[in-house]
C-alpha cells in the first residue's frame, strides 16, 4: 500500500504566475481612510486673507505711562525728569487708583545700570501697579 502525496507527475517545481493583490488593497484602503480623516482638519471652512506683516507693531495707548531711565540712572516721567524715586511712587499711587489701571512701560537705556530699572520696578510694586512692560527695539532684519 502506497500513499500519494503531492502531484503525481515528476515536475514538482511549478511557478505560480498570479500576483496576490490582497496586501496592496489593504494598504490602499488604510491610506484612503487616513486621507479622509485628515483632510477636514487641514482645510478650514472660512476663507481668510491673512496679513503679510513680519512684526506686529504695538500701538501706544494714551493711557499708558512711559517711564525712562537714562545712562546716569535719571528717572523720567514721559519727558519730565523726576527728582527721586519717592516722587515717582507718589505719581504711580495716583495712577494705580484709575479704573482700568493703565500699563506702565519702562524704557531703559542699554548702558544703564540695572539698579535704575530695579528702582522703578520696586516703585511700581510699592504703588500697587499690576501691569508693567519693557519697551525694546526689534533686531535689524536679516540678523
- The reply to whether 96 falls in a domain is yes
Contact 99, 70 (CB under 8 A): no
DSSP character string of 97-113 = TSSSPPPEEEEE-TTS-
Number of domains within the chain:
1
Answer yes or no: are the C-beta atoms of 117 and 85 closer than 8 Å.
no
Q: What is the pLDDT of residues 41-69, one digit of tens each?
A: 655 454 555 555 555 556 656 588 888 88
Q: How far apart are CA 62 and CA 65, in angstroms?
A: 8
Give the domain range for residue 79: 65-134
**Which CATH number do you get for residue 109?**
3.30.420.270
pLDDT band at 8; cut points 50, 70, 90: low
Q: Which residues contact 124 (CB under 8 A, 6 or more apart)?
A: 92, 104, 132
- Mean pLDDT for all residues in the chain: 78
For position 42, what pLDDT does the model report? 58
Amino acid at each position: 500500500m502506497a500513499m500519494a502525496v503531492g502531484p503525481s507527475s515528476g515536475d514538482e517545481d511549478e511557478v505560480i504566475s498570479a500576483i496576490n493583490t490582497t496586501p496592496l488593497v489593504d494598504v490602499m484602503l488604510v491610506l484612503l481612510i487616513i486621507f479622509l480623516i485628515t483632510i477636514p482638519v487641514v482645510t478650514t471652512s472660512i476663507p481668510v486673507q491673512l496679513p503679510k506683516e513680519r512684526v506686529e507693531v504695538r500701538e501706544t495707548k494714551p493711557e499708558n505711562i512711559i517711564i525712562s531711565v537714562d545712562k546716569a540712572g535719571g528717572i523720567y516721567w514721559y519727558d519730565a525728569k523726576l527728582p527721586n524715586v519717592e516722587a515717582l511712587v507718589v505719581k504711580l499711587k495716583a495712577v494705580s487708583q484709575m479704573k482700568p489701571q493703565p500699563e506702565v512701560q519702562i524704557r531703559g537705556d542699554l548702558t544703564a545700570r540695572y539698579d535704575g530699572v530695579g528702582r522703578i520696578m520696586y516703585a511700581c510694586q510699592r504703588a500697587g501697579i499690576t501691569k508693567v512692560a519693557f519697551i525694546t527695539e526689534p533686531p535689524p532684519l536679516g540678523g
